[in-house]
Amino acid sequence: MTRKLTVDERSALLSELNGWRASTDREAIQCEYKFRDFNEAFGFMTRVAIKAEEIGHHPDWFNVYNEVKITLRTHDLDGVTELDAQLARFIDEVARTMQPS
């Protein structure tokens, strides 16, 4: 079973990620990406979806055309856990390689 990250652990995680921030309305981390077009955004989401299935942990996300907004939290623990950290690091790396605009 995974555990919630401490405030210090969450802060350290956010400092290593590009563009991620703490949610203002719940214990979660969030990021937004803007891609060249829908196809690129969907490709990004597909790569993230495959990883999410692999680790059994899924993001809350919202997509309109070329924009993707992601919120990560572990619902059953009502907070950010190492699973969220693992997925955020993966998302960060995918976004870096795809060079969102």
- The identity of residue 2, as a single letter, is T
What are the tens digits of pLDDT across the range 41-54? 999 999 999 999 99
Write down the CATH number for the domain with range 7-98: 3.30.1360.20
17, 10 Cβ separation under 8 angstroms:
no
pTM recorded for the entire structure: 0.91
Average pLDDT of the residues in 1-26: 91
**Alpha-carbon gap, residue 26 to 86, rounded angstroms:** 19
Average pLDDT of the residues in 30-40: 95
Say what the pLDDT of residue 78 is: 87
Confidence check: pLDDT of 19 > 60: yes
3 state SS of 66: coil
The tokens of 66 are what? Answer: 């070329």
Angle 7-16/82-98 helices, nearest 10 degrees?
Answer: 10
Give the domain ranges of the chain. 7-98
32, 67 Cβ separation under 8 angstroms:
yes
